[in-house]
Amino acid sequence: MTVRQDVHSAGIPVLCQSCEARHRGVCGALDPDQLVALSKTSSRYTIEPGAELIGDAETVNSYSNVLSGVVKLTKGLSDGRQQIVGLQFAPDFLGRPFKVESEINAEAATAVSLCSFPKASIERMMRESPELEHRLLKQTLKELDEAREWMVTLGRKTASEKVASFLLMIARNIDPATDPATNSTSFDLPLTRADIADFLGLTIETVSRQLTRMRTEGVIRIENNRHVTVESLSRLERRSGA
Amino acid sequence: MTVRQDVHSAGIPVLCQSCEARHRGVCGALDPDQLVALSKTSSRYTIEPGAELIGDAETVNSYSNVLSGVVKLTKGLSDGRQQIVGLQFAPDFLGRPFKVESEINAEAATAVSLCSFPKASIERMMRESPELEHRLLKQTLKELDEAREWMVTLGRKTASEKVASFLLMIARNIDPATDPATNSTSFDLPLTRADIADFLGLTIETVSRQLTRMRTEGVIRIENNRHVTVESLSRLERRSGA
DNA sequence: CGAACTTTTGATCGCAGTCAAGATACGTGG
DNA sequence: CCACGTATCTTGACTGCGATCAAAAGTTCG
């Protein structure tokens, strides 16, 4: 990749120049000076699938941007039942401001790369830049909308509607260019069947049965368990309840 | 109630002086001058139970503080199934910034009184006062936490755990002084059985049966359908899954 | 006191959960 | 490259929780 040197990237840290978080993420709120200051304390990590990013009730002392991969946010009941309460894709901001403790677990669902900052850096920058806080508010509102959308799915949809809704959501996130007119997409599921079950409030077996049913009915194709081709987005949409 | 005239209330609009929203709500972010400016465009309303505040896909052109009563936020599926995705108590802020359309219905669950502002006033004030936006971010984060907590309830709890969780949540909101040690509280349910069902992703009948069971088992008492006395908060907590 | 509504209770049904094998994909070392 | 072991996923048989349908009891108005 060539490093652009036009007026817009002048003075911007090299690492940030091609970073999606600068375009669509929270870093877009910062001017070159602020980016330089922040990037001095930032570092990039790559994380293996299954690795825990934030433990339940652990002290949070850093925030991150998701650069690639999918992070799942989970909450658990004392007897081991689990529920995924959110999925974060690039270039989402990861971390819960203004709280020392998080009651949420964050875990890499796929391989994940992060750009990570000390808690203090971000919080200082937030005090200096109202625009940064504004972006954070917008992301939080987006997450709230998504959470409420899933509450409808969890509370009122049938198993097959849940699975259809899930596939639709993944299709739209993995390939944001998903044109409803195109009517066909293909992607790798970022989640195992167990994760999908924890996301939809179902069991592994029910998820598997529903996927099999959609396959035999020609709505989707599945290769190697993970790779899904949606043959008809409109049929999928019709099955999602909505 | 006597009107305080000390240094802190000097220059504050009369209506705001004893207003909860100024203490615990978003108006706490504003200085006296800003309060005066905002209060010029504000007006108070009282709304009957069942009245709709924001219609689905309607244009939103005002924001409000909830001064008393309970507002339910609902989302519906095309075939009529409904899910309550949030409850707002005083002094919550009501309205979805930065969006022209709301995909959510807001409806008075009980009698509700509101302090309401034109959309433009709030948005102008938000541009002038980062502190206001900060409060809004904090409330939004609180709502996100609550939504995620309910996702666990909806996705992974049994009917009886759901009802116990609901009673616990109401007890804590109606009477914030609910001391877990006291082990006993009493309140009026702000929701009908139908609303409770829509909140918990259950049917009316299941909600009723679970309440009956808790009553016969001595965990709660019920008078006139609406008034509930929790005999043992700790027993209720144990039944809520958590 | 009577009408309309809300809640409770009862009987039955069906969807998704549970328990149990089998099948398929994947990594590892021979 | 293949045999093996482990993970993950699928399929089958059965169960049970909560939904559905129906009716009775209680509550709140006028």
CATH no. for residue A105? Answer: 2.60.120.10
Boundary (domain end) residue, out of B81, B107, B142: B142
Answer yes or no: do B149 and A78 touch at CB < 8 A. Answer: no
For residue B242, give both structure tokens: 């958590």
Kind of pairing, strands A227-230 and A220-223? antiparallel
Taking contacts as CB-CB distances below 8 angstroms, the residues of chain B near A154 are: 151, 154-155, 201
Answer yes or no: do A77 and B133 touch at CB < 8 A. Answer: no
Answer yes or no: do A77 and B157 touch at CB < 8 A. Answer: yes
- Asked whether residue A2 is domain-assigned, the answer is no
Strand D–CB A192 distance below 7 A: yes
Domain range holding B64?
7-142
Asked whether residue B4 carries a pLDDT value surpassing 50, the answer given is no
Closest in A79, A141, A155 to B98, CB measured: A141
Asked whether residue B234 carries a pLDDT value surpassing 80, the answer given is yes
Mean pLDDT of all residues in A161-169 = 98
Query: Using one digit for the tens of pLDDT, what is the confidence trace for B7-42?
Result: 556 789 999 999 999 999 999 999 999 999 999 999
Question: What does pLDDT average to over chain A?
Answer: 90
- Asked whether residue A1 is domain-assigned, the answer is no
- Asked whether residue A87 is domain-assigned, the answer is yes
Share of chain A above pLDDT 90, in %: 76
Predicted local distance difference test score (pLDDT) of residue A100: 52
Nearest CA in chain B to A162: B155
- Asked whether residue A151 is domain-assigned, the answer is no
- Asked whether residue A85 is domain-assigned, the answer is yes
Total domains in chain B come to 2
Boundary (domain end) residue, out of A145, A168, A194: A145
Predicted local distance difference test score (pLDDT) of residue A97: 75
Contact B163/B218 with Cβ under 8 angstroms?
no
Query: Using one digit for the tens of pLDDT, what is the confidence trace for B49-104?
Result: 999 887 654 556 789 999 999 999 999 999 999 999 999 999 999 988 777 556 89
Burial class (CB in 10 A: 0-12, 13-18, 19+), A13: middle
Asked whether residue B6 carries a pLDDT value surpassing 60, the answer given is no
- Strand D bases, protein C-beta under 7 A: 8-13, 17-22, 27-28
